[in-house]
Structure 1
Amino acid sequence: MTDERQTDEKPGRRARRRALTALSVFVILLAGVFSWRPDDLYLWIKALHVIAVISWMAGLLYLPRLFIYHTDAPIGSEQSQTFKMMEQRLYKVIMNPAMMLTWGLGLYLAWTVYGFQGGWLHAKIAMVFFLTVVHVMFGRSMRRFAEDGPRKTARYWRLVNEIPTVLMIAIVILVVVKPF
């Protein structure tokens, strides 16, 4: 049995293939639901939206943890290279598609179900916008790590790791309770 590292090309191709397969299944399911037009289309779209949100949030919660560990890895080390690969795959293969699907399906629901009406909905969209800002900030940080550029401290990343959690809590309360 050969020793394949995650930074090798072969596991990278397999990971991309698996991710593309999963994304393709999701898109085919989405297209099927739209073309089928079931009576409960809203519930199908909402379910797919929740799946996309969970995938996006998983990445938003995990990527800063990788940054914490990457910060402690010596620049140029094999460990640093592994973290670079993990961060890139998480961001590009999971987080970006999940964010786009979250926005697309969420805006579809906001328009078709609520007509963009309701203070709670406007607040929720604002919170999702802030999550997107965090997402972009993580992408820039990932690129700095990839270039072996200046690094923030592990303490910084532990604090930043709480931002998606706080926003998620606010969003869930707004969606479920609809306080205004």
Structure 2
Amino acid sequence: MLWVKAFHIVFVASWFAGLFYLPRIYVNLAMVPPGSVAERERLLLMSRKLLRFTTLLAVPAVGLGLWLWLQWWWGATGWLHAKLVLVLVTIGYHWVCARMLRRIEAGQSMRSHVWYRWFNELPVLLLTVVVILVVVKPF
């Protein structure tokens, strides 16, 4: 079980690294001057590749987490339920990032770089709360 837990942590950390950086590319995309087609295309390519890679990391992170949860679900306390809710929020955040990329590629609804900077902070908060829940088990 410790191997499963170790690999779960590695994949979660890697998944979150992608979630930390992907919206950062959106910040840069929002700052691209209107005539800079090459710069925009380069950032879009980076975004697509990072999203694909981040999704590939999320699958084993969630799968291994499910494996761990199935071992403990009968004795689960409140902290684990709260963590599972935050995992669903993180999956939703990942989905929103993918949806944003599709809209940016289509030239729809480009938000300001300031908005993307704030949006970029959400995974930091999610990871912080999840780690506190897992380590401290406050309830």
For residue 65 of structure 1, what is the aligned residue in structure 2? 24
- Among candidates 47, 51, 56, match of residue 87 of structure 1: 47
Shift of 1:116: 6.1
Task: Tell me the amino acid that sits aligned with residue 65 of structure 1.
Answer: R
CA distance in 2, matches of 1:142, 1:115: 39
For residue 100 of structure 1, what is the aligned residue in structure 2? 59
Distance 1:143 1:45, change over 3 A: same
CA distance in 1, matches of 2:115, 2:16: 19
- Among candidates 89, 103, 112, match of residue 71 of structure 2: 112
Tell me the TM-score normalized by structure 1: 0.73
Tell me the TM-score normalized by structure 2: 0.94
Larger radius of gyration: 1
- Among candidates 34, 51, 56, match of residue 15 of structure 2: 56
CA contact (8 A) 1:116 1:122 kept: no
- Higher-RCO chain (CA-CA 8 Å, sequence separation at least 6): 2
CA distance in 2, matches of 1:107, 1:100: 11
CA distance in 1, matches of 2:94, 2:33: 25
Runs of 4+ with deviation above 2 angstroms: 113-116
For residue 171 of structure 1, what is the aligned residue in structure 2? 130
Shift of 1:114: 4.5
- Count of aligned positions: 138
Distance 1:116 1:103, change over 3 A: farther
Gaps of 5+ in 2: none
